[in-house]
Structure 1
Amino acid sequence: MDNNNLIDDQSLNIDFHEEVKAKNKTYTFWVFISMLIIPVLYPMSMIDGNQSILGRFVDSFIYTVVVTPFLAVLLGIPIALLPYKGLFLHQKYKRAFLLVLLCLNTALILILSFIGLYTLYDYTIN
């Protein structure tokens, strides 16, 4: 074959903006899943033994609905200002906000898991 042309290559027809929208939907799904896991894990970890389970649930709900989105807004702004594959600012900000929110929620889930495992370990020893 002397012809070096690509024959019916579909990979060149991929719209990057549509791919970003699809990934944003996936990130949104995982953010909501993590926002459901945190209120379950926080009351199970014994951070403050004097507080009731309902009080812990309210604290975790406030954290997941108010604190982490506020931090994600503040951290997402400078991250969105970085250039990224020709996306517009609103597209980069939405992506940065979702990724920062997902990272914050994942970090809290890991911390609560370690605290819960330590609490379980402490109960088994005593």
Structure 2
Amino acid sequence: MVDDRQRFGQTSEQMVAQYLQREGYRILETNYRTRAGEIDIIADHNGTIVFIEVKARRSRSYGDPKWAITPAKQRKLSMLALVYLKAHKAMYRRARFDVVTVQMVAAKPIIEVIRNAFELAYG
């Protein structure tokens, strides 16, 4: 059963995928899952594989959503990206990590794309 918070997250991810497509990204995967976790969106942008984390907030009560990408989250996303690249025989491809935030302001979504938000993170 999907609660209101999960529904908001799913809707935000769909909105972001559509936005990215209009910006020239080709969506390869959404909600790519492994035993270790999930990557929200994987896309190709000008020949680069982009691993995208979506963070959405209905208000600023908990601060700017981009600050929710902690070093631990960066390490986890890095590990998942390496699993994807290896599974798709794409270790030679350029890759980057983008963070996309969605903030509701006066009931209107504001989308911000942060390209190259962080580097591959280890240990």
Where on the TM-score scale, by shorter chain, does this alignment land: which range?
under 0.3
Higher relative contact order (CA 8 A, sep 6+): 1
**Structure (1 or 2) with the greater helix fraction:** 1
TM-score normalized with structure 1 length: 0.27
- In terms of fraction of residues, the more strand-rich structure is 2
